[in-house]
């Protein structure tokens, strides 16, 4: 199959940490021909280490052979680079979030249609092993009918680096508009929830920027003990209603200490999910019959008889027997991409282009997700439920696979 020529704009942290290695070494279909960054030394470093051309943004736009622009700039620059590329007839794969505002995202959707090109958006972690396996288990009814989903992610964002925000090189976007916690981490949870249950119908929320004034806490920072302003929401608590009737809560905060919880409850059991920022993760199901049927002894119970209950408590005895039969077991992962596979969404897009199918990371998911974040913020201000105006198509599942890492790319060629 003819490889797809791509060029990268934005050679910062994530490009260096995972993207370049994965694009060059993990996926046969991707052919990285050039890289650009407005900080020249960054593009130079990537070009030298991966033997690709350092280019200007303009050169990338003019190069007829380049089919896809991979937009790895920070969120404030996503609109500028994605719109420029699409207006130059390029398809775009853009890191999360699509744009910081719903208005800009709407404009990108219009530009995509106008130029008859494809726009896809990260996060692509929902194509990972635990995320796809969870979907398969749920679709096959492992916990009966799903009823609720709860997502919780909290982490204190206090920059550790003494250089934080003293030079462009150390610009810490998560504490700036459009890069804050709802934008930096919501997408992982929303894309996986959409992968599991499809579109969201209504949202409501509380919270906002509850801690705008921060202090440089690192004694090595030149502005140690001075305050600075964070201009992005920092704590949101939301309720979600999916079109399929599932109800969700979403709790996200960069003000609280670290916690993470992602769980689906169903009529017959509970499925504990992994971290949607990761490809590998643990899936644990709790339900009667999940494990081999053996006797569980609660404190105060003896084998063969239950000293906590009177002899005539037959109903209670039966209920307790049911309860104690509920076991938690870890489920095997059934899919590929269990190691760090960022850019798998780009590889999927390349196969989509060659095979004439819909890419799994289609922009409609990124667009729907940014409207959810927008809607939660609107609801925080208005105190009213926000009715979603967009919907997205639940992306097609990946086939289960027992291929080793070198063979898992095959599951994208469908
Ligand atoms: N850092 C992470 O761990 C991580 C993880 C997953 C996803 N992401 C996403 O990846 C994207 C980039 O994150 P990062 O951490 O690499 O940010 P970064 O700030 O380290 O890098 C962004 C780069 O884009 C360049 N840039 C910005 N505007 C440009 C323009 N107009 N033309 C050319 N170059 C431009 C900057 O000079 C910078 O080098 C973000 O959308 C982020 O949400 C980051």
Shared domain check, 182 and 168: yes
**Residue 11 alpha carbon to ligand 1 centre in Å:** 7
Task: Answer whether residue 222 shows pLDDT above 90.
Answer: no
Mean of pLDDT values over 183-191: 91
Q: Say how many C-beta atoms besides its own lie within 10 A of residue 268's C-beta.
A: 16
CA 387/CA 201 separation, integer angstroms: 6
Q: In 3D, which of 165, 180, 155, 161 has the Cα closest to residue 227?
A: 165
Both tokens of 373, joined, read 């974040």
Task: Answer whether residue 306 shows pLDDT above 50.
Answer: no
Within 6 Å (CB) of ligand 1, which residues are found?
A: 9-15, 36-39, 42, 57, 72-75, 77, 80-81, 95-96, 171, 173, 184
Using one digit for the tens of pLDDT, what is the confidence trace for 258-268?
Answer: 999 999 999 99
Look at residue 309 in the predicted model and tell me its pLDDT. 46
User: Does 10 reside within a domain?
Assistant: yes
Look at residue 59 in the predicted model and tell me its pLDDT. 98
Look at residue 298 in the predicted model and tell me its pLDDT. 54
User: Does 376 reside within a domain?
Assistant: no
Mean of pLDDT values over 334-340: 93
Task: Lowest mean pLDDT of 284-298, 332-346, 395-409, name the range.
Answer: 284-298
Which of 9, 11, 14 is the pocket-test mutation for ligand 1 (most atoms within 8 Å of CB)? 14
User: Does 294 reside within a domain?
Assistant: yes
CA 414/CA 402 separation, integer angstroms: 16
In 326-399, which ranges are continuous DSSP H helix? 344-355, 363-382
- The pTM assigned to this predicted structure is 0.90
Shared domain check, 181 and 66: no
CATH number at 405 reads 3.40.50.720
Shared domain check, 133 and 29: no
Shared domain check, 153 and 48: no
Task: Answer whether residue 292 shows pLDDT above 60.
Answer: no
Angle at 224 between CA 185 and CA 182, to 5 degrees: 10
CA-16 nearest atom, ligand 1: 16
169 or 123: whose pLDDT is higher?
123
Shared domain check, 115 and 37: yes
Enclosing domain of residue 57 = 4-125+339-362+396-412
Using one digit for the tens of pLDDT, what is the confidence trace for 81-104?
Answer: 999 999 999 999 999 999 989 999
Look at residue 296 in the predicted model and tell me its pLDDT. 52
User: Does 390 reside within a domain?
Assistant: no
Q: In 3D, which of 73, 66, 72, 78 has the Cα closest to residue 32?
A: 66
Chosen domain end from 287, 310, 330: 330
Task: Answer whether residue 291 shows pLDDT above 70.
Answer: no
Shared domain check, 205 and 150: yes
CATH number at 270 reads 3.30.360.10
Task: Answer whether residue 375 shows pLDDT above 60.
Answer: yes
Mean of pLDDT values over 199-226: 90
Shared domain check, 150 and 47: no
**Residue 12 alpha carbon to ligand 1 centre in Å:** 5
Shared domain check, 183 and 72: no
Which of 13, 47, 161 is the pocket-test mutation for ligand 1 (most atoms within 8 Å of CB)? 13
User: Does 379 reside within a domain?
Assistant: no
Which of 73, 128, 159 is the pocket-test mutation for ligand 1 (most atoms within 8 Å of CB)? 73
**Residues making up the chain, counted from first to last:** 414
Residue pair 92/117 in contact (Cβ under 8 Å)? The answer is yes
Shared domain check, 117 and 228: no
Residue nearest ligand 1's atom 38 by CA: 12
Shared domain check, 87 and 181: no
322 or 361: whose pLDDT is higher?
361
Using one digit for the tens of pLDDT, what is the confidence trace for 7-50?
Answer: 999 999 999 999 999 999 999 999 999 999 999 999 999 999 99
CA-277 nearest atom, ligand 1: 6
**Residue 10 alpha carbon to ligand 1 centre in Å:** 6
Shared domain check, 92 and 145: no
Residue nearest ligand 1's atom 25 by CA: 10
CA 326/CA 72 separation, integer angstroms: 46
Q: Residue 313: which pLDDT band, with cuts at 50, 70 and 90?
A: low
Mean pLDDT of all residues belonging to the chain: 90
Chosen domain end from 286, 309, 330: 330
DSSP labels, 160-183: --TTTTTSGGG--GGGSTTTSHHH
Shared domain check, 174 and 310: yes
User: Does 217 reside within a domain?
Assistant: yes
Both tokens of 312, joined, read 């005539």
Percent of the chain with pLDDT over 90: 71
Mean of pLDDT values over 316-345: 81
User: Does 349 reside within a domain?
Assistant: yes
CA-77 nearest atom, ligand 1: 28
Task: Lowest mean pLDDT of 9-13, 40-44, 163-167, 330-334, name the range.
Answer: 163-167
Q: Residue 305: which pLDDT band, with cuts at 50, 70 and 90?
A: low
CA 224/CA 90 separation, integer angstroms: 45
Chosen domain end from 282, 307, 330: 330
* Number of compact structural domains in the chain: 2
42 or 302: whose pLDDT is higher?
42
User: Does 310 reside within a domain?
Assistant: yes
CA 23/CA 29 separation, integer angstroms: 9
């Amino acid at each position: 199959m003819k490889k797809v020529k791509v060029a990268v704009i934005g050679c910062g942290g994530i490009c260096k940490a995972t993207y370049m290695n994965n694009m060059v070494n993990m996926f046969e279909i991707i052919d990285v021909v050039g890289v650009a960054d407005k900080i020249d030394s960054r593009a130079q470093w990537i070009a030298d280490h991966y033997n690709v051309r350092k280019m200007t943004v303009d050169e990338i736009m003019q190069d007829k052979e380049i089919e896809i622009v991979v937009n790895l700039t920070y969120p404030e620059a996503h609109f500028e680079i994605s719109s420029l590329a699409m207006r130059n007839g390029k398809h775009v794969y853009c890191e999360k979030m699509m744009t910081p505002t719903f208005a800009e995202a709407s404009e990108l959707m219009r530009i995509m249609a106008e130029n008859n090109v494809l726009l896809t958006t990260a996060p692509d972690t929902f194509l990972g092993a635990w995320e796809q396996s969870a979907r398969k288990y749920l679709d096959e009814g492992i916990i009966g009918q799903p009823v609720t989903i709860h997502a919780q992610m909290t982490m204190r964002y206090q920059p550790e680096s003494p250089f934080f925000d003293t030079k462009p090189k150390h610009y810490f976007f998560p504490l700036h508009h459009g890069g804050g916690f709802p934008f930096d981490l919501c997408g992982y949870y929303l894309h996986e929830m959409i992968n599991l249950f499809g579109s969201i119908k209504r949202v409501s929320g509380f919270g906002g920027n509850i801690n705008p004034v921060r202090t440089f806490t690192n004694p090595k920072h030149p502005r140690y003990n001075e305050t600075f302003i964070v201009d992005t929401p920092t704590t949101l608590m939301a309720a979600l209603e999916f079109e399929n009737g599932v109800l969700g809560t979403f709790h996200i905060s960069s003000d609280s200490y670290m916690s993470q919880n992602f769980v689906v409850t169903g009529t017959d059991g509970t499925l504990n999910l992994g971290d949607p920022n990761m490809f590998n993760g643990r899936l644990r199901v709790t339900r009667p019959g999940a494990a081999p049927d053996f006797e569980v002894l609660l404190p105060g119970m003896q084998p063969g008889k239950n000293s906590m209950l009177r002899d005539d408590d037959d109903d209670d005895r039966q209920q307790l027997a049911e309860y104690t039969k509920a076991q938690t077991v870890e489920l095997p992962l059934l899919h590929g991409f269990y190691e760090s596979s960022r850019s798998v969404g780009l590889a999927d897009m390349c196969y989509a282009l060659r095979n004439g199918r819909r890419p799994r990371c289609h922009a409609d998911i990124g667009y729907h997700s940014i409207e959810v974040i927008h809607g939660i913020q609107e609801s925080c201000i208005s105190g009213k439920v926000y009715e979603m105006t967009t919907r997205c198509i639940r992306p097609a599942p990946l086939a289960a696979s027992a291929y080793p890492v070198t063979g898992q790319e095959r599951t994208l060629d469908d």
